[in-house]
Amino acid sequence: MSSSAGSIVFDADVLVLGGGPAGTWAAISAAEHGARVVLADKGFCGTSGATAAAGTGVWYVDPVPERREAAMASREKLGGYLQDRRWMARVLDQTYAQSNQLAEWGYPYPADEDGKPQRNSLQGPEYMRLMRKRTKQAGVTILDHSPALELLVDGNGVVAGAAGLRRQKGDRWAVNAKAVVIATGGCAFLSKTLGSNVLTGDGYLLAAEAGAEFTSMEFSNAYAISPAFGSVTKTLFYSWASFTDEQGSVIPGASSKGGRSVIARALRKGPVYAQLDQAQAETQRHMRASQPNFFLPFDRTGIDPFTERFPITLRLEGTVRGTGGLRIVDDSCATTVPGLYAAGDAATRELICGGFTGSGSHNAAWAMSSGYWAGQGAAEFARQLGTTIGRQAFRRGTVGLRSGSGQPMHGGALARSVQDEVFPYELNYFREAGRLGDSLRRLDGLWSEASNAAASDEQELLRAREAAAMLATARWMYRSALARQESRGMHRRDDYPEPDDRYLHLVTTGGLDDVWTSARPLVSAQYSEAAE
């Protein structure tokens, strides 16, 4: 470690960006495989991000062939038959092992009536508190409140570290590393969902500036039910809800399997209300015990959700609960850029979820598994790279970082402009070529302006980069959505309302100034057979 010109410099074998479950698993794994590791978190590692703020299910299935088969088969139709069975099996194996590892580390799993531990869910605060502790015990250097601004690459295009801000110190940091793991989460577009304010697609932008590719970005229009006055987007309890309009009339179909779409259409006409009036007294007690934070907004406002109606909204969770992200090219979770690895929501979940994730269980399992593999892969890459004495590193950051000929870049205003294009249900939830095309023209115009601008000062720099990442993510999403001329998984097209076997493939995208898309065949033909 050294310091120079207002910044502190670290040397490491592996740098992990992001301190959620995927990032901490990656850091621990890399350290266990002999690497010197630095982890940089945008917030405080162990408390920031979607997992730390709530409980989550885990795709934990006992290694019984019939149960594993059922677990994989149950999701294939929902995901549009885009999954890869080999990866699903790998994740089930790895998640089982790591959940058991958590138990050995002291995570307080509950037991059922027969005394058998129940390892299919985790309470975020306890989980992430333990992960921070284990990360420190593994010898990892943690940089809290240290968002990354850009990647470093060498003359051959191999990733060579990253640089960023130390928000509490008021200076900069840089890490010279032989490999980097992007575990910065997805992009929820500052939609006020619980724990997602740090999830603005930052890692996507950094990776794209180094030339990385993305996949399944069309599966990014996940909206979650939330009280209009709160940020909690845990939706399981709405299975016990009745939904009514402003006059108190029941909204037909809102409580059905496809009720989210019905609610979205109703919200376009006026307020929608919910009441958890289908839950009996015993169920109500279980609800409060299992998800206490769900009830915090109600307790603060004096509303009893079981006996009173309350206004709801749908908040965009984007790629946090979507399946798109950085494309990985091998079992180590390597990306298309040498030395760069991806894990958790920053990486695609198409391999195990296809076009639909639904609840957090698959994402939680993916964070554990991909984090472990990415850390191991990065450590091995660093070992094979050997000495890097005399290696020159070049900064790859662009938009918002370099002075240009345009006006100063104001992150807040740009972020609001992006939200205007991704929040509306008629643009993102119910997609159609004309509306997507019009939105893309506006987004492309915003990018043209932003790419020639720089943040006005150091305080504005992080917000500018966040807004630029949101803007880039929206363009990849909508270009991919235009390319998939069908409805499959969570991707809905009003002009193509049915699935089409001609699109039984994956959509790859990339680029910054010029966004491109291409079709990529599935790994296995088994899905064509399943679809028949």
CATH number of the domain to which 296 belongs = 3.90.700
- Of 316, 342, 362, which marks where a domain is finished? 316
Same domain, 257 and 379: no
Chain length of the chain: 532
pLDDT for residue 236: 85
Residues 344 and 283 in one domain: no
What's the CATH number where 148 sits?
3.50.50.60
What is the Cα–Cα distance from 306 to 323, expressed in whole angstroms? Answer: 33
Q: Is the pLDDT of residue 523 over 80?
A: no
User: Is 421 part of any domain?
Assistant: yes
Do 159 and 213 lie in a common domain?
A: yes
Q: What is the pLDDT of residues 445-457, one digit of tens each?
A: 999 999 888 887 7
- Domain identity same for 171 and 151: yes
The total domain count for the chain is 3
Do 72 and 176 have their domain in common? yes
Residue type for 139, please? G
Whether 286 is covered by a domain: the verdict is: yes
397 domain residue, yes or no: no
Domain boundary among 265, 287, 316: 316
Q: Are residues 427 and 518 in the same domain?
A: yes
Q: Exposed, middle or buried: residue 70 (CB in 10 Å: 0-12, 13-18, 19+)?
A: exposed
Residue 187 forms part of a structural domain = yes
Decide: pTM greater than 0.85. yes
- The reply to whether 38 falls in a domain is yes
- Tell whether 148 and 215 lie within a shared domain: yes
- Same structural domain for residues 52 and 184? yes
Q: What is the DSSP string of 345-360?
A: GGB--HHHHTT---SH
Return the CATH number at 468.
1.20.58.100
Enumerate helices (H) and strands (E) in the chain, giving the number of each: 14, 19
Shared-domain flag, residues 213 and 228 = no
Model pLDDT, residue 452: 85
Name which of 27, 9, 1 is nearest 371 in CA terms. 27
pLDDT at 143: 98
Give every CB contact of residue 176 below 8 A, 6+ residues apart in sequence: 9, 10, 11, 12, 152, 160, 161, 388, 391, 393
- Lowest mean pLDDT across 161-165, 296-300, 322-326, 402-406: 402-406
Residues annotated catalytic, as ranges: 260
Inside any domain, residue 403: no
Is 454 part of any domain?
Answer: yes
Domain end: 268, 290, 316, which one? 316
78, 187: one domain: yes
Q: Are residues 481 and 527 in the same domain?
A: yes
Across the range 480-507, mean pLDDT stands at 97
Same domain, 61 and 205: yes
Does 345 reside within a domain? Answer: yes
Q: Domain limits at 281?
A: 222-316
Q: What is the pLDDT of residues 113-168, one digit of tens each?
A: 888 889 999 999 999 999 999 999 999 999 999 999 999 999 999 999 999 999 99
